[in-house]
């Protein structure tokens, strides 16, 4: 018997608050204002947690076994705070689950109730993770996205949206599509298999007000537009919505300058079924859709909550998920709750743009964050940056030379031309951010910076920011 009550009760509750107004359209208009006071929202979240836990326990083998092993009665989980009694679910749990088709220990419905199967892109490390969605899950996923598009960014049925996200096994392209569909926008579903020149032609012919893309592609797309004789800043584009990769505020601001348009970033993942929150302004943090997701930030070793403002590991529970009801899922993302003043009025919490642990390498304890490397590349002299056409796209290759007991870092940066001057300036800037002064100077052989032609680092999907050689992996005891 498929689970309907939580999704149904969600819209029934909203209808009561709205005195019969169409609740879905109101949600789109109101965006991050759920139409409830903080007290009502808290009570509502508690009830959804209780329903969600019972659904997971009664209908999935994994959570029934887990709660029984932990001697937890699902009826005892009545509030958001009670969730902490349940051990987190990890990516390894999903990977190791025995998929004996059509049986799957995380699946809470019959296979005939599954409308779509997603798999993660694998950028979080390990094997791809499966995520099953019912029809109701898909519709709610679109509504979650639409609340950001419509309620906060002002996109509506009069707008045309150019979809440049990948349409594949992961959720990104379909999430963007369902979100724009929920606000009745006209869509150009180009995806990433269409040549970039055709994307530029679509901008010229159909004058879209918004584009939705991976941030690395949206960044490169300005070069494509210019090559086709279109000035991005003079184009029809008013909103650039990106997601799927973590870009820093500095990288997003550079993109905003190129387009002369509003650039915002969304946060989500395949295991969540899509979007879980998004920005309304660069630097203000990710607003979390806390009526649909219970977020925690915890110590990664103890899973105890950290203080607001302190960095920890992200856990989320997608309450009301029908086909695959995860509990306290740990995607290996790290962030912190924001405590500064918000630019909009909403009871929802904010977090910094999360970064994924798998995408961070280290040299003797000094962590190499791709975002920080990207920021330092953009920190070079503005005139040099313009003269050499540096677009901010890069790739790091990290090696370990066992004979010399030294690390070697090679960084490729896209641009129009290379000179020793610009490469040396970036090299000096990168030595600063990596804090090599705190390490024995003999530990790092060198940082090589090469400017490569624009587009050389482009992929059909997410940008590959860090490549670890086999020698590095072997030295660190990682899988080859």
- What local confidence, expressed as pLDDT, does residue 188 receive? 96
Residue 17 has pLDDT above 60, yes or no: no
Binned at pLDDT 50, 70 and 90, residue 200 comes out as very high
Give the mean model confidence (pLDDT) for residues 254-279.
91
3-state SS track over the chain: CCCCHHHHHHHHHHHHHCCCCCHHHHHHHHCCCCCCCHHHHHHHHHHHHHHHHHHHHHHCHHHHHHHHHCCCCHHHCCCCHHHHHCCCEEHHHHHHCCCECCECCCCCCCHHHCCEEEECCCCCCCCCCEEEECHHHHHHHHHHHHHHHHHHCCCCCCCEEEECCCCCCCCHHHHHHHHHHHCCCEEEECCCCCCHHHHHHHHHHHCCCEEEECHHHHHHHHHHHHHCCCCHHHCCCCEEEEECCCCCHHHHHHHHHHHCCEEEEEEEEHHHCEEEEECCCCCCCEEECCCCCEEEEECCCCCCECCCCCCEEEEEECCCCCCCCCCCEECCEEECECCCCCCCCCCCCEECCCEEHHHCEEECCEEECHHHHHHHHHCCCHHHHHHHCCCCCEEEEEEEECCCCEEEEEEEEEECCCCHHHHHHHHHHHHHHCCHHHCCCCCEEEEEEEEEECCCCCCCCCCCCEEECHHHHHHHCCCC
Do residues 185 and 161 touch, judged by C-beta distance below 8 A? yes
Which stretch of 88-97, 293-302, 383-392 has the lowest confidence by average pLDDT? 383-392
Residue 214 predicted with pLDDT over 80: yes
Report how far residue 77's alpha carbon sits from residue 392's, in angstroms, rounded to the nearest whole number: 47
pLDDT band at 7 (very low <50, low <70, confident <90, very high): very low
Highest average pLDDT, of 41-45, 323-327, 398-402, comes from 323-327
Summarised one tens digit per residue, pLDDT across range 311-344 is 999 999 999 899 999 999 999 899 999 999 988 8
The CATH number given to 1-355 is: 3.40.50.12780
Tens-place pLDDT, residues 97-137: 877 767 889 999 999 999 999 887 665 556 778 899 999 89
- Which tens digits make up the pLDDT trace of 272-316? 888 899 998 998 999 999 989 999 999 999 999 999 999 999 999
The third-level CATH classification (topology) of the domain covering 360-476 is GMP Synthetase; Chain A, domain 3 (3.30.300)
Distances 1 to 50, 75, 105 between C-alpha atoms, Å: 18, 20, 16
Instruction: Decide if pLDDT at 14 tops 80.
Output: no
Q: Whole-angstrom Cα distance, residue 24 to residue 373?
A: 42
Hey, do 1-355 and 360-476 end up sharing a CATH topology, with the first three levels equal? no
CB–CB of 270/321 below 8 Å?
no
Which is more confidently placed, 337 or 429?
Answer: 337
* 128-162 exposure pattern, b = at least 16 Cβ within 10 A, e = fewer: bbbbbbbebbbbbbbbbbbbbbbbbbebeeebbbb
Q: What integer pLDDT is reported at residue 428 of this predicted model?
A: 79
Give 157's strand partners: none
CA dihedral in degrees (285, 288, 294, 296; nearest 10)? Answer: 0
- Domains of the chain: which residue ranges? 1-355, 360-476
pLDDT at 444: 65
Instruction: For the chain, give the percent of residues with pLDDT over 90.
Output: 39
Is residue 76 pLDDT above 90, yes or no? yes
């Amino acid at each position: 018997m498929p689970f309907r009550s939580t999704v149904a009760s969600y819209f029934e509750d909203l209808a009561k608050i709205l005195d019969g107004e169409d609740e879905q359209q109101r949600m789109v208009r109101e965006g991050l204002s759920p139409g409830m006071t903080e007290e009502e929202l808290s009570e509502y979240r508690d009830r959804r947690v209780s329903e969600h836990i019972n659904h997971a326990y009664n209908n999935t083998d994994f959570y029934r076994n887990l709660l029984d092993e932990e001697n937890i009665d699902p009826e005892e989980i009545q509030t958001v705070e009670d969730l902490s009694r349940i051990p987190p679910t990890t990516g390894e749990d999903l990977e190791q689950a025995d998929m004996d088709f059509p049986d799957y220990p995380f699946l809470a419905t019959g296979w005939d109730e599954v409308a779509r199967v997603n798999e993660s892109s694998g950028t979080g490390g390990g094997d791809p993770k499966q995520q099953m969605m019912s029809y109701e899950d898909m519709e709610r996923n679109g509504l979650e996205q639409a609340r950001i598009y419509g309620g906060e960014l002002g996109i509506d049925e009069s707008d045309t949206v150019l979809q440049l996200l990948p349409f594949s096994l992961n959720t990104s392209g379909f999430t963007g599509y369902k979100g724009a569909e929920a606000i009745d926008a006209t869509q150009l579903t180009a995806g990433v298999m269409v040549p970039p020149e055709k994307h530029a032609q679509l901008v010229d012919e159909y004058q879209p007000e918004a584009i939705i893309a991976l941030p690395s592609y949206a960044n490169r797309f300005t070069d494509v537009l210019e090559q086709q004789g279109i000035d991005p800043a003079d184009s029809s584009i008013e909103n650039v919505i990106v997601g799927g990769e973590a870009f820093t505020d500095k990288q997003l601001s550079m993109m905003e300058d190129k387009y002369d348009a509003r650039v915002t970033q969304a946060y989500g993942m395949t295991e969540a079924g899509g979007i879980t929150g998004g920005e309304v302004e660069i630097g203000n943090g990710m607003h979390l859709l806390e009526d649909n997701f219970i977020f925690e930030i915890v110590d990664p070793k103890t899973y105890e909550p950290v203080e607001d403002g302190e960095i920890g590991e992200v856990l989320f529970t997608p309450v009301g998920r029908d086909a695959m009801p995860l509990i306290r899922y740990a995607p290996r993302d790290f962030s912190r709750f924001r405590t500064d003043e918000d630019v909009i009025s909403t009871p929802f919490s904010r977090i910094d743009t999360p970064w994924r642990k798998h995408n961070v390498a280290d040299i003797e304890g000094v962590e190499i964050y791709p975002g920080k490397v990207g920021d330092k590349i953009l920190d070079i002299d503005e005139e040099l940056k313009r003269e050499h056409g540096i677009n901010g796209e890069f790739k790091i290759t990290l090696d370990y030379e066992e004979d010399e007991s030294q690390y070697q870092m090679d960084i490729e940066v896209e641009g129009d031309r290379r000179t020793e001057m610009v490469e040396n300036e970036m090299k000096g800037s990168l030595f600063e951010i990596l804090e090599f002064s705190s390490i024995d100077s003999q530990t790092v052989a060198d940082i090589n910076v090469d400017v490569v032609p624009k587009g050389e680092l482009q992929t059909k999907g997410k940008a590959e920011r860090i490549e670890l050689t086999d020698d590095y992996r072997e030295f660190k005891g990682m899988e080859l």
